[in-house]
Chains A and B, each alone.
Chain A
Amino acid sequence: MATAAVSTERKNYLNAEYGIRSWLLTTDHKRIALLYLISITFFFFVGGFFALLIRLELLTPAGDLLTADMYNKAFTMHGQIMVFFFLIPSIPAVLGNFLIPMMIGAKDLAFPRINLLSWYIYIIAGGLYLHCLVSGGVDTGWTFYTPYSSLFSNTHVIEAGLSIFIVGFSSILTGLNFVVTVHRMRAPGMTWSRLPLFVWSHYATSIIMLLGTPVIAITLLLVVLERTLNLGIFDPSRGGDPVLFQHLFWFYSHPAVYIMILPSMAVISEIVPCFSRKRVFGYSFIAASSIAIAAIGFLVWAHHMFVAGISLYSALVFSFLSFLVAVPSAVKIFNWTATMYKGSVSFSTPMLYAFGFIGLFTIGGLTGLFLATLGVDVHVHDTYFVIAHFHYVMVGGAVMGYLGGIHFWWPKISGRMYPEAWGRLAALIVFLGFNLTFFPQFIVGYLGMPRRYWQYPPEFQVYNVLSTAGASILAVGYLLPMVYLLWSLRYGKPAPDNPWQATGLEWRTSSPPPTFNFEETPEVTWEAYEYDTMPMPDEVTLER
């Protein structure tokens, strides 16, 4: 039967089996990645819908479109959905899941059933969150600050807290799978120094997931218990300390920012060498900087609390460490830039996203220095300056990387080429729309507009109008790839096994790959990114 199938159409992970059961009970990491792709795309658009509501409300200084409570729920649910149900799982659970086993020459992740379990946990948590959403939502801000969340909010804090508690386990199990897979499942010859930087970055990400997530899990559990049983651990009127919550919350939630950005850096580290036809500049420094970010990232959490009443000296230490964590990020930027030097740079869609990432992440990272500078943070903390900063990192950085990665590996995932011209157009629209949306927020933040304001003084209006205009362009930029990628599934040109002539192991198997990734276990005898040994990609196959 197998031989007959091969002669007509190559068997791959997509057509190996049919039917809904074969998807819902699959243990194939590639199919689970697609399940994740569909679910996070759904949540991305739900979160985006709330972003749209926020931007429309802020078009005018008065609170006229939504009520104050609705607005508070909108920004809370925008934040929680985007952070916990989109950004954190986005690249790891989709691209990481799909690619890590292939990149290291394994047939699957170490624990395929746990991998499927993590998706189910995600779905259960997502369902619970959606139920919370339709039954009235939650208005604590994504940060759940006590004592507002534990004593004062009249919304569905328990349900939201529990669903984020649950989704944490999905992320822990994914991280566990990645770490063990990288340690134990590498193909013969795939030494640590030959690992693609994508894998290094995901390894660092997984460590953060493993060691950070349980802390927020227990913290949210305590908030839930505080609300149900009236414990009083975070209630100042009963001797509790609300600032302790902030410490515990940011102990995870600051490293969580690195969970979002490191995988995106992983993607860029693959795209830049491929489209420059060069070995990546400073391989070991990029790899080491990922680990450094993960390690130092655990020691900077209190820079979210410089005006929260922490002691002068601890503020000093955390400010210093926050500057320190900027160094490995800068090292990455410099190395990617240097990789292009004397290369052969192509302007294909993934590379355009990589350019976008480098530009936006540079701005996002540098404005992070403003926030690490104690005296300046006092003024800009909790203003739109912070909003702009972290959107430059999380949307400008993480989402650009995610879209770049989706385009780069789309031929491998779907077996089809996407329309290159549309891809470039969308990348351009996203870049322009993004800057128009978020750059004005730096200015309005420095002017003093606090975040989470439903109505605001009229002198801030011009910037908010610009921002809203940008957001509508951004929305088009995000819808466009969804349309043409879906279109390409049916009408796209069949993809060759290695359309970009990239060096990774994932490109040395068919597109789409067979169920067990490789016909036989590969043996690695070459270093990572040996682009001098690869032929130039055929430009004609790339241009539709």
Chain B
Amino acid sequence: MSDRAGTGDSPLVLEHEDRPELRHHFADVVQQRNAASLGMWWFLGTEIMFFGGMFCGYLVYRRAYFPDFAAGSRSLNLIAGTLNTAVLICSSLTVALAVRASQLGKRKQLVNLLLATIFFGVCFLAIKGYEWRDEYIHHHVPTFYFDAHDLVRENPNLHLDPQHTKIFFSLYFALTGVHALHMIVGIGIFSVITFMAWRGKFNPEYHTPVEIAGLYWHFVDIVWIYLFPLLYLIDRRPGA
């Protein structure tokens, strides 16, 4: 890199020459790894606040319009949601195993596990997309064409207000939409990581990208672990 010209005689640059992955401004690999992982942890803190704003709105309105939220929640596809939860938990397992594989330097296993993770991620999005399509058909997407009168008819004794049900669906689509966006970003990151792993960029001394991408993936999973009960399981009873 040309910006090293100024310190061509610096011992630090020489020291780095045998470590292509070590960026010029770090003293050693440990510092670089610690910086990267701390950065990811703080970034996840930011992400919690990002979802936090919506969770806050969710809590306010769920308390105010509980029957509408419950009815909206019951109309969601519980099987698809449960399946997606299982898919994501599996993907977290493959990520955890992938990090382990990278620490042990098992390249082939690493690539396979990363591919499995991507596969699960795509599965999740496919199932989610199927659900959204279903809700689109039922006019439950909160746009100008929103229509919740089917829910009002199905629950005659609850006296739902379609507008309040719409708030549930607004939050449902905002939360799952932003979550899905995070999944797409995650799949993108893992595609790059897989490519890097396939090229043999990682070894037991250097596997920070796998680790911090894993942190991100686990976070996106955890968000879903909260979303699933909050959105799908508001008021599920046998026979309800």
> Which residues of A are at the interface with B, using a C-beta cutoff of 8 A?
1-3, 11-13, 16-17, 22, 26-28, 106-112, 172, 176-177, 179-181, 183-185, 210-215, 217-219, 221-222, 225, 229-233, 238-241, 244, 247-248, 251, 514-516, 519-521
Contacts and interface: CB of A to CB of B under 8 A. Distances in A.
B21 to A, nearest CB: 14
B27 A521 contact: yes
B170 A231 contact: yes
A106 B12 CA distance: 12
B200 interface: no
Given A239-B167, A521-B12, A515 B39 contact: no
Contacts of B143: 229-230
Contacts of A185: 25-26, 31, 35
Interface residues of B, number: 51
Interface of B: 2-12, 23-27, 31, 34-35, 38-39, 42-43, 45-47, 49-54, 56-57, 60-61, 64-65, 142-144, 146, 161, 163-164, 166-167, 170-171, 174, 178
27 contacts: A2-B5, A2-B9, A11-B5, A12-B6, A16-B5, A26-B3, A27-B3, A107-B24, A108-B24, A180-B39, A185-B26, A210-B46, A210-B49, A211-B45, A218-B51, A218-B53, A218-B54, A231-B174, A238-B166, A239-B167, A241-B61, A515-B6, A515-B7, A516-B7, A516-B12, A519-B10, A520-B12
Contact of A112 (B25, B34, B163, B178): B25
B11 to A, nearest CB: 8
A181 B53 CA distance: 28
Closest 6 CB pairs of A and B: A214-B50, A108-B25, A107-B25, A218-B53, A238-B163, A231-B170
Contacts of A221: 174
Contacts of A248: 53, 56-57
A306 B53 CA distance: 21
B171 A233 contact: yes
Contact of A106 (B11, B25, B167, B174): B25
Given A2-B6, A244-B57, A248-B56, A210 B45 contact: yes
A183 B54 contact: no
Contacts of B24: 107-108, 516
B50 A218 contact: yes
A232 B163 contact: yes
Contacts of B11: 520
Given A214-B53, A239-B65, A516 B6 contact: yes
Contacts of A107: 12, 24-25
B39 A111 contact: yes
A215 B52 contact: yes
A397 B154 CA distance: 60
Nearest to B144: A230
A244 B5 CA distance: 55
Nearest to A231: B170
B46 A211 contact: yes
Contacts of B146: 230
Contact of A179 (B4, B26, B42): B42
Contacts of B9: 2-3
A2 B144 CA distance: 66
A359 B61 CA distance: 46
Contacts of A239: 61, 64-65, 161, 163-164, 167
B46 A515 contact: no
A112 B24 CA distance: 10
Contact of A16 (B6, B57, B167): B6
Nearest to B143: A229
Nearest to B166: A232
Given A214-B47, A244-B57, A233 B167 contact: yes
Nearest to A215: B53
A27 B24 CA distance: 11
A230 B171 CA distance: 13
A177 B39 CA distance: 7
A524 B7 CA distance: 21
A218 B11 CA distance: 47
Contacts of B54: 218, 222
Contacts of B166: 231-232, 238
Contacts of B31: 184-185
A16 B146 CA distance: 60
Given A232-B170, A516-B25, A184 B3 contact: no
Contacts of A515: 3-7
A128 B112 CA distance: 42
A233 B39 contact: no
Given A210-B49, A214-B47, 15 more contacts: A16-B5, A17-B2, A17-B3, A112-B23, A184-B38, A210-B42, A218-B178, A222-B54, A229-B142, A231-B142, A231-B167, A232-B163, A515-B4, A516-B12, A516-B24
Contacts of A212: 49
B5 A176 contact: no
A184 B170 CA distance: 41
Nearest to B165: A239
A189 to B, nearest CB: 13
Nearest to B170: A231
Contacts of A225: 170, 174
Nearest to B56: A248
